[in-house]
Chains A and B, each alone.
Chain A
Amino acid sequence: MEFFNSIDWMQMLRCFIVGGLICIIGQILIDKTKLTPARILVIFVTTGAILGGLGLYQYLVDFAGCGATVPLTGFGNALAKGAIDEVAKSGFVGAFIGGTKAAAGGIAAAVFFRIYCISYCKAKNEKAII
């Protein structure tokens, strides 16, 4: 019960709406443009990185929490933020290591789950994917 009382429902709603809106942009790009999913992915990450680098994305994170950090734009934001922070700590070379450092959790998880999947699962046609 204490757990339920501790939930900030308004925060959750903001998270849901912002996260959903970011995904809707992706869906519109898939449906209405000829961009391949790989390009859409890159557009999202670089947009997040640019907005993060300009310090704008942080406003969205403050407002929506995970709704802004979980989508791909949040990954781009983490890369930019990590690079900026690391430059402050270790100088010029930080621009190269900071982004990867900040995103290390996501990168390692992606590699781990990919290896896990290809070891134990076999791709089938769409029946299985849906």
Chain B
Amino acid sequence: MQKIGKQTIKLDTPPTILQTASIVGPKEADGPLASYFDQCLEDEFWGEKTWEKAESKIIKETVAMAIAKSGIPSEKIDFCFAGDLLNQCISSSFGLRELNIPFFGIFGACSTFVEALCMASVFLEGGAGSYALCAASSHFCSAEKQFRFPLELGNQRPPSSQWTVTGSGAAIVAKSGMGPYITHITPGKIVDMGIKDANNMGAAMAPAALDTLITHFKDTGRAPSYYDAILTGDLGYVGKEILIEMAETKGYNIRSNYNDCGVLIFDKEKQDTHSGGSGCACCGTVFSGYLFKMLQQKKYKKILLMATGALTNSTTSQQGESIPGIAHAVAIEL
């Protein structure tokens, strides 16, 4: 393992993503990627009394499914890195309290899933263990309640707003294996361009995504065309266009192989999801469900997964603070 360039880590004996699992809610089940997810829920309560309990159950069951699919007994998993959007990361800590695996609760807003992959890779490559678990979850109803308005208010959503994905994605990372390998990680810096609208997260996060993207290319010496696909977590339609345009002004053309998980997960016209999906589960489920299968089927051989996060909370929004953005990138190759 070595640091190359400004902020990229090259993993010399790259860890393998052994297996993934994903569970999504009913809205995602109506979307174009439905067939790739392991389980689609019929309602967002899933038999629980509150949305928070439902979210905890979703991450718990997703993790259990990832462990079962990988065939690795849970006692052999050395560390768990997980996070979500709710205050103090309660979905993960309550959902995984019976897991009995050493637990690191992490918060990177919607970038949490890739942050977990970054941490797990460094832990495993450093020799701290053989297997690590990465998971992230989000829930539309609990996120709306916490970050914007309670659903009971029945608020109208502006066109730039995004739809928090209900669901969870989990991955088992192994120190050695047959790939797909995590070969490089580029942790991002906090970038704040002064955007204050909690209903326009894509625009707030796009500058952070640009910073990480360009740094990754400069550090690794790679060009955008090196990757079969470059995917951001949840910039949505608004943020995606901003990123493409900003990258172009910096001399990087990503138009042909770039897309956004938030754009992929919903059908904008049919599902009235405005600017697209968002939330920890957006990148988490699209990677665990769709992208991992594309890698397994060798339809993609090299991808750059870059999850974006808006590091805001409801108090800072009410106090008129701007929204700091962040983006973490992992290069996953066969």
Interface residues of A (CB under 8 A from B): 30-31, 34, 36-37, 117-118, 123-127, 129
Contacts and interface: CB of A to CB of B under 8 A. Distances in A.
B155 A37 contact: yes
A123 B155 contact: no
B152 A123 contact: yes
A contact face: mostly helix, strand, loop, or mixed: helix
A46 B288 CA distance: 51
A129 B158 contact: no
A123 B27 contact: no
B154 A31 contact: no
A118 B151 CA distance: 12
23 contacts: A30-B156, A30-B158, A31-B158, A34-B196, A34-B197, A34-B199, A37-B149, A117-B152, A118-B152, A123-B141, A123-B151, A123-B152, A124-B43, A124-B141, A124-B151, A125-B26, A125-B27, A125-B44, A125-B140, A125-B141, A125-B151, A125-B166, A127-B26
B150 interface: yes
A37 to B, nearest CB: 5
A37 B152 CA distance: 13
B178 interface: no
A37 B153 contact: yes
A117 B151 CA distance: 13
A129 B141 CA distance: 12
A120 to B, nearest CB: 13
A97 B123 CA distance: 67
A101 B141 CA distance: 37
A129 B154 contact: yes
A105 B155 CA distance: 24
Nearest to B148: A36
Nearest to B145: A123
Interface in B18-55: 26-27, 43-44
